[in-house]
Amino acid sequence: MMASVLGANIYSDIFFIAFKLPNLFRRIFAEGAFTQSFLPTYAKTSQKSIFAVLIMLRFFIFLIILSLLVSFFSEFFTKMIAFGFSDEIVKEASVFVAINFYYLILIFLVTFLAALLQYKNHFATTAFSTALLNISLITALTLSQGSEPKIIIYYLSYGVLVGGVMQLFSHIVAIRILKIDKIIFGGLKYINKKSQVVKKDLKKFNHSFGHAIIGNSTAQISAFLDTILASFLTAGSISYLYYANRIFQLPLALFAIAVSVALFPKISRYLNNQNEQKAHKMLKKSFWFLAYLLTIFTIGGIILAEEIIWLLFERGEFTSLDAKHSSQVLQMYMIGLLPFGLAKIFSLWLYSTHRQKTAAKIALKALSINIIFSLTLIFFLQASGLALASSLAGFVLFYFTIKEFGKKEFFAIIRDKLMLYLIFIAFAEIGILLVAKEIINEYIR
């Protein structure tokens, strides 16, 4: 719907730039690094209420200050992620950057409450709440359809904030029903008296959080760099990357991220209880589940890229030329789906064993490869080159993650008859998809 109403042009680029900054911080600080550092420490501390509240207040105050800084110096922060934009466009985009950034405060509180719910093995609310943001954005697009592009971006920006409020409200309801709110109120009540008791736990969290930020930042910083570099390309390039990345993120979120979110608390518990055998067994099941699904999506995404983009986006302001460019970018992104997805679950082992520093070093290696390839491939393949560089970095991330997890343990997992079935399914799917492609193209013609 966004493609239909906004298309792929300088105005859609402006909104995606504005939404990129809070999303960058959200994915690095909130969803990834925070949860992976918070849950293992929270599970071990004897003063859960005090520890949780102190962490919440520290982040909340920091994010309010950061959001105010972005508001006051919005042009500076906009220029950071859009070097290639002219001063006039930066000035226009900075207004929307300031509005969208306040979403970060809301989504941190959502992430904090979601972590408490995860500890209690409750995932439904967090999974559902993402839909609320999308419903808010769809409503904003419906109300603003037919307006000037700038007005549409205003609607979308405030739609982001409304969606954030709705997400937060749904989590507040959940913690009330599950009576987890007692943890927060208890912590607030005794925060002054017992804050020194969790000093060691806070120190441990801070240490692991710093490394976890780097460890979780590869894909996010790579997307951030893609946006900066794409701002030097023709208008619409940022949008091509955004639309294609939405398709790439769908199987990654539905399966790889969903599995890792559900798997992490359980693996952490097993390893804390010295039950490594059960942790390995659970990891093996998750590996084969993801290997099957992500292989299917990878092959399907590469073969049917043009048809997928045509079906979802080619209408309204989104032209056939936009569809062609976006499908080329999508093919490059899909190459990295399998390594990124599998690296996600194996990295959980590193975080569960408090090896955040190791994960951070791996991420830096992958990021370095991504930067080198991005700066090289952009000259030959434009926006598609940026997507391919990201995929190549995914293979580097996967290789070094497996190396740290243990090559022997990894080969023990893949030395299974299931590998033969996986290869058979892959070949069968290629044949089916090639036939489907011809049928769809015949229909389009």
The tens digit of pLDDT for each residue in 337-348 reads 999 999 988 888
Question: Do 71 and 111 reside in the same domain of the chain?
Answer: yes
Asked whether 158 and 186 are in contact (CB, 8 A), the reply is no
* Residue with the two structure tokens 């309204």: 316
Strand segments (E) across 175-276: none
**Torsion sign (Cα): 328, 293, 35, 346:** negative
Asked whether 161 and 137 are in contact (CB, 8 A), the reply is no
Residue 15 has pLDDT above 70, yes or no: yes
- Position 445 scores a pLDDT of 55
Residue 31 has pLDDT above 60, yes or no: no
How many structural domains is the chain composed of?
2
Asked whether 396 and 366 are in contact (CB, 8 A), the reply is yes
Question: Do 384 and 435 reside in the same domain of the chain?
Answer: yes
Q: Going by C-beta distance under 8 Å and a sequence separation of 6 or more, which residues neighbour residue 109?
A: 56, 60, 168, 171
Domain end: 162, 181, 213, which one?
213
- Position 217 scores a pLDDT of 63
CA distance 84 to 89: 10
Quote the mean pLDDT of the chain.
Answer: 84
CA distance 280 to 260: 14
- Position 354 scores a pLDDT of 74
- For residue 129, which of 157, 178, 171 has the smallest C-alpha distance? 171
pLDDT (mean) for 67-79? 90
pLDDT (mean) for 283-305? 87
* 101 vs 31: which has the higher pLDDT: 101
- Position 377 scores a pLDDT of 92
Question: Do 38 and 78 reside in the same domain of the chain?
Answer: yes
Question: Do 39 and 175 reside in the same domain of the chain?
Answer: yes
Residue 69 has pLDDT above 90, yes or no: yes
User: What band does 395 get if pLDDT is binned at 50, 70 and 90?
Assistant: very high
CA distance 243 to 24: 17
Residue 127 has pLDDT above 60, yes or no: yes
- Position 420 scores a pLDDT of 63
- Position 182 scores a pLDDT of 84
* Residue with the two structure tokens 């490594």: 276
Question: Do 171 and 34 reside in the same domain of the chain?
Answer: yes
User: What band does 418 get if pLDDT is binned at 50, 70 and 90?
Assistant: low
| Structural domain span for residue 280 | 217-445
* 208 vs 358: which has the higher pLDDT: 358
Question: Do 327 and 237 reside in the same domain of the chain?
Answer: yes
Question: Do 285 and 319 reside in the same domain of the chain?
Answer: yes
Work out the widest C-alpha separation in the chain, in whole angstroms: 73
pLDDT (mean) for 392-403? 92
Asked whether 345 and 263 are in contact (CB, 8 A), the reply is yes
